[in-house]
Chains A and B, each alone.
Chain A
């Protein structure tokens, strides 16, 4: 009898505990005293934590606390955000969307994101680069994201390795020698002839491809929203240059953002990399003793890679508080600070024109005038056309090039495979 009495009690106890915690999981962020926890989800490095902006914001607003996570890989991050958009309330308050995803937000998910115009975001338009602002706005004028940064492209390179291979190391001289991407690869061939053992000219064919395509107005979609991955000559050109780099052994046969690639920044497995402004801090993080070895020069084209937006999902419980936070984080003052601390280039042209940005030099990169190099590109960037699946399509192209690099796949087959992958994900 002792046993029978105990069993149900244990059962009821366990179930009660379980039930309690099931209920508790939905209500963690508001304690009723006006204190609000904002759940901010980012990828890569936005520099907010590193520059102390979250701490500062919490000090300015004692009732707000910020819970922040960052996923290293954007391509993992974004699908997770998708399932969170399907959750009821209380999953997240602020999400970042990369520029290659923003058209998905504005074209397919407008009903899932908060229209920031309702909080007065319309006034901010004049601050931003025109194309950046437009890409975060729907056709009917809803503002779904505030731009954080843009990714004007240059070339980062290892002076020490270039010198060993007998190449020039002066950034002006290099910029003059690579007037086109083909010229860039030709220089690579010179590098390869005398390079230190185990050192390739450029990191990956995919990175190269992406940088080349980044200077094109039309990329994967035309203005009417039709996919043109198969017919766009700009894609073909960029692909062919990527293939050339892979097949002539100019690439280090790595996958961007994975462990071996990270390690290669310091090991010297590659001597140059297509370098959007945010890559500056990435390099510093990976190659902690690299000061003086690295330099940055204007690249062969005027292109953009990356840059992001901050948006608020409709299932956030604290939309107003979230808006106040993202508005503050993206304000020119903060963008300037992020640039100074981490080289993240402002999406706000007001911020970009401040002397702290425009005249900035970076000692790690041999006092390169990074403000001017990236600023010149930013001013001349074309207004690229974006489409909902840009990011996934880009992944498919990168995988195609990677298979040429690592598995010696025939380029024609790799192209066909890539087309199949793209068509599969589109339809």
Chain B
């Protein structure tokens, strides 16, 4: 529930930021001293250690984790722990479900937000400003607080325990609209649009053949951020789904709340379901960092 849809930017009327890649080296504060490195390394260790410990605990027996001093290197018990976790919850299904859910949400959100972002950025219509203001306003509304009527709706529709119960309510993001709009305002040259219209193309054709190609990098970044958020979403999925058809967060919730007694097994489940995001993160971390900073900088 902690910020399922954290917007990434100072809203309001901030001055447009200079057009510059956020990860280009800057030197205005000068070169970092050894103390700076030391502190940063410390912070890095604290950031990464719990994840490393997950790996250690997942590959040990419960008795080994509980020994004094605790082990610091991975052991050989991973497969057995994973087996025990599978006895309780089908983690493969959970991971597949999470891929489907997060993938659908990412694709849907990116599409809807690109459409709306383009309209707000470049099209002229009567309620443009009003509607965009409304969109920004909705960033402040925490969707999880509507969970009770939503639950009642899902019971009535017979969607409890079905993935669409999780996909549909999470399919849009005000931040996404904002993000795409800010990007397209700058990245989409008006001359190009104008040329399309002069040729007599419809707005949808212009969108397909001119806007989409240009929007692609921002769509990819937004897609990654939304995917990550959807993968980690907790509150609504644990209400709407059950252990029969879980996402990974539902599975972890069940593992952690008394499905199994052994911490090593819980950690094996945690490890297995966290690997996909961490892997994506290690591969694309640079782009994700860039996306978050871009979101923030373009206020």
Contacts and interface: CB of A to CB of B under 8 A. Distances in A.
A228 interface: no
Interface stretch (A10-18, A137-145, A268-276, A298-306): A10-18
A224 interface: no
A257 interface: yes
Majority-rule SS of A interface residues: helix
Nearest to B151: A86
B213 interface: yes
A402 B96 CA distance: 41
B100 A18 contact: yes
Interface stretch (B141-149, B182-190, B228-236, B237-245): B237-245
A400 to B, nearest CB: 20
Nearest to B103: A14
Contact of A84 (B104, B164, B209, B242): B242
Q: Give the most central of B96, B97, B216, B243: most A CB within 10 Å.
A: B243
A289 interface: no
Nearest to A12: B107
A83 B100 contact: no
B3 to A, nearest CB: 25
Contact of A69 (B104, B243, B258): B243
Contact of B245 (A14, A25, A77): A25
Contacts of A25: 161-163, 245
Nearest to B207: A4
Contacts of A15: 104, 107
Contacts of B257: 73, 76
B258 A72 contact: yes
Interface in B147-204: 155, 158-164, 167
B244 A39 contact: yes
B12 to A, nearest CB: 33
Interface string B88-116: 11000000110010011001000100000
A87 interface: yes
A353 interface: no
Contacts of A91: 161, 242, 244
A91 B241 CA distance: 10
Contacts of A11: 107, 111
Nearest to A76: B258
Interface string A78-97: 00100110111001100000
A60 interface: no
A7 interface: yes
B212 interface: yes
A87 B209 contact: no
A268 to B, nearest CB: 16
Interface in B242-275: 242-245, 254, 257-263
Interface residues of A, number: 36
A128 to B, nearest CB: 30
Interface in B37-74: 66
Contacts of B24: none
Contacts of A3: 212-213, 216
A1 B205 CA distance: 12
B124 interface: no
A262 B258 contact: no
Contacts of A173: none
A391 B150 CA distance: 28
A70 B89 CA distance: 9
B244 A92 contact: yes
Contact of B261 (A39, A69, A72, A87): A72
A208 B253 CA distance: 30
Contacts of B164: 22
A72 B213 contact: no
Contacts of A190: none
A21 interface: yes
B26 interface: no
A123 interface: no
A167 B52 CA distance: 49
B160 A71 contact: no
Contact of B258 (A1, A18, A26, A71): A71
A5 to B, nearest CB: 9
Nearest to B240: A83
5 contacts: A7-B212, A7-B216, A21-B97, A25-B163, A88-B159
